Structure 1
Amino acid sequence: MRHSPCIGICKLDDATGYCLGCGRTGREIGDWIAMSESQRDAVWSELPSRLANLSVRVRLLPWTREELIAWTNDTIAARRGTWVTGAPGAVAEFPCTSERTIDVEAGSDGVIARAPDASFRLTVSDKVRAFSFSEGGPIVLGLPKARAAIPSSPVLQSLGMDSQAIDARHQAEQLFDYGIGRKYSRFCVRTGDAALASSLSAQDGRHWSEVMMAIGMQVIAASPNRVVESAAARIEVFTKIPMPGDQSPAGAHTHFLPDFLKGGEEIASSLALPDYAAPIAIFYPQKATN
């Protein structure tokens, strides 16, 4: 069954009679539970044009869990763009472009993709929703806020062995939450290097800015795996960390940008979701070339 188009903004437009949140009429809202699936699909098909006429910025998409899994698999298999998770200033990017070697598998609970430089896992429950903001623009996946919160820390914290690693070969390596202090995502590093693990453990409980001052160059030199995750998405990046002033490598990479972290945002304001939802991942379609 398709979910309701409601996004929690329940106010009818005086001129058109359409809801300023979902685009339905008052009657459609009242009859929704009693409608057949074909009737609901017919309403869903009308909503894009109605919402465009209302100049509604964020639009909930009608995809079921199975459709969302199939769409996610296609974005990777057909090399349609880039998946991102994290918060502004602390993100991981998993590009799905034509020149990259990527293996992808879709299952009943989500999608796993593997490339030589990174892995990506998206777990799709029936509570995951997809939101668009413009035709051909980014798609943000979200969960209700109560389900989207994850254990995270405002200071560096040792998390022990990475039992949730995408591949078993990494599950015996140590994971450290870098402590960006966000509610819906966390930026971690993972290492099997005993010297680096010891240095990171010695920084336990310190703010990331203090950690950078103390052992930042050691971390860069060792280039541990970066693990950026939300309640339903995880990107693990294996590439080297660029030296200060150098550009990020082509392909999968992370950004850890102190100036952007100061704002404390969970997502860029241009992609903010309705109040009830929090972001778990973003897909940026590849821009068409002439």
Structure 2
Amino acid sequence: MADLRDVLQDHLADEKAGWSMGSFGAVAEFHQDKGEPLDADAPALFVRATRRGAIRLDAGMVGRIEPVAYETLSPKPHRWSHALALCLPAGDAAGSRRDVLTELGPDEDAVRPADRTAILFDMGLALPQCDFCIRADDPALLAILRENAGRSLFDPANPAGGAILKAHPHRVALTRIGRVEVFQKIGGPDTGGVSPPGPHTHLLPQLLKSGRTHSANVPIPDHLMPLGYLHPANPVMDGMGADRDFDIEDHVRFQALYDQFARPDLPILRKAVLAALDKKVEPHRFTVPADRFGRATVRLTLRQQHRLAEKFADSAYLDLVARWREAFDKVSDTTAADDDAPGH
């Protein structure tokens, strides 16, 4: 059984792993490239930083994190996503829920010492479990932010929103388990309308209006609230969501986390599907659970077995899996809400 502290430390040193913190509709992501120079490299202290972004987990809170491993369907039938949600009991997870732009003072807890004199502002998104902030040291931007403190950034007459988009200040997602900092530009007109590779943020007002703490496709128990996510290397797509050759080592590595940290009934169901396939049971003899996450687990298992059968050129097994997929994994059953992009 893996110790969560070891899992987190190992993945902080893994350049293929990604991280995110935030809430549904507002998220800050940390990614790194292979061989990218590091400004902070202390996985034992749960810290990692590059010139583009940073992450720090609160070492004192790591022991209280309740991890939930999960997989989600992709609209593309040869793919899936996976992650480890880093949760706390809902009563311990709440952020400040400020609903107006608020100056918080110098960011003395910034990961990099050079950033600790810059001024932190809560953007006032009123997120359930995250204080989503910007950090500024530009005098012109600071003047506009201070002049409009106490106002909503969603007010069309508030000039602070436009000033933020133009100035590209650092974004900082603060939660009870740590922080993610993003130094790169905000995705928009200055980045060709797309988020830059590597650390970046997403702010999607339509999703924020839902008031959800996480996607409905993620099986988080009702008593828990996710504050951040570890996104281990995905065996079928890279960190930007592009296809990659199936990597069986990355697949096996996450399956070990899934078996230990997933909702307990789901690995049991997966093993039942695998046992039925091993016995060459035809799909009409297998009963799929009515629960949405159970149905998704059957479909995910079949997608993975399809890729494994292709990898090992097992045509007879591939034919059997194809019959099961025809019965249980209709692509038309995958909702548009299923997310294909790690961390988004």
Identity among equivalent positions (%) equals: 29
Moved more, 132-141 or 74-83: 132-141
Q: CA deviation at 1:100?
A: 3.6
Q: CA deviation at 1:97?
A: 4.5
> Is residue 145 of structure 2 the alignment partner of residue 209 of structure 1?
no
How far does the alpha carbon of each residue in 1:196-223 deviate from its partner, in whole angstroms, 9 at most, with x for none? 1121112212122127852333212211
For residues 199 and 272 of structure 1, what CA distance do their matches in structure 2 show? Answer: 42
2:20 maps to 84
Q: Which of the numbers 42, 52, 58 marks the counterpart of 1:105?
A: 42
Q: Which of the numbers 32, 56, 73 marks the counterpart of 1:121?
A: 56
CA contact (8 A) 1:152 1:177 kept: no
Give the alignment of 1:173-252 within 5 angstroms. 173-210=118-155, 213-244=158-189, 246-252=193-199
Report the 3-state secondary structure (helix = DSSP H, G, I; strand = E; otherwise coil) of the residue aligned with 1:207: coil
CA contact (8 A) 2:67 2:87 kept: yes
Report the 3-state secondary structure (helix = DSSP H, G, I; strand = E; otherwise coil) of the residue aligned with 1:235: strand
Letter in 2 for 1:122: L
For residues 212 and 147 of structure 1, what CA distance do their matches in structure 2 show? Answer: 36
More helix by share: 2
How far does the alpha carbon of each residue in 1:190-245 deviate from its partner, in whole angstroms, 9 at most, with x for none? 01112211211122121221278523332122111100121112111111223346
Report how many aligned residue pairs link the two structures: 224
Q: CA deviation at 1:272?
A: 4.6
1:94 maps to 30
CA contact (8 A) 1:156 1:203 kept: yes
Letter in 2 for 1:106: P
More strand by share: 1
CA contact (8 A) 1:82 1:97 kept: no
2:70 maps to 133
> Is residue 97 of structure 2 the alignment partner of residue 162 of structure 1?
no
CA contact (8 A) 2:47 2:55 kept: yes
For residues 151 and 15 of structure 2, what CA distance do their matches in structure 1 show? Answer: 40
For residues 111 and 93 of structure 1, what CA distance do their matches in structure 2 show? Answer: 16
Give the alignment of 1:1-150 within 5 angstroms. 67-98=3-34, 100-102=36-38, 103-107=40-44, 110-124=45-59, 125=61, 126-134=63-71, 137-150=82-95
For residues 129 and 249 of structure 1, what CA distance do their matches in structure 2 show? Answer: 31
For residues 109 and 213 of structure 2, what CA distance do their matches in structure 1 show? Answer: 23
Flag the 1:71–1:266 CA change in 2: closer, same or farther, 3 A. Answer: same
Flag the 1:198–1:105 CA change in 2: closer, same or farther, 3 A. Answer: same
Residue ranges of structure 2 left out of the alignment (5+ in a row): 73-80, 236-243, 246-344
Q: CA deviation at 1:264?
A: 1.6
RMSD: 2.2
Residue ranges of structure 1 left out of the alignment (5+ in a row): 1-61
Moved more, 84-93 or 130-139: 130-139
Letter in 1 for 2:179: R
Q: CA deviation at 1:249?
A: 0.8
For residues 132 and 141 of structure 1, what CA distance do their matches in structure 2 show? Answer: 9
Moved more, 96-105 or 230-239: 96-105
2:202 maps to 255
How far does the alpha carbon of each residue in 1:87-140 deviate from its partner, in whole angstroms, 9 at most, with x for none? 122111111443544453133xx4000111001001243211111124982110
> Is residue 228 of structure 2 the alignment partner of residue 281 of structure 1?
yes
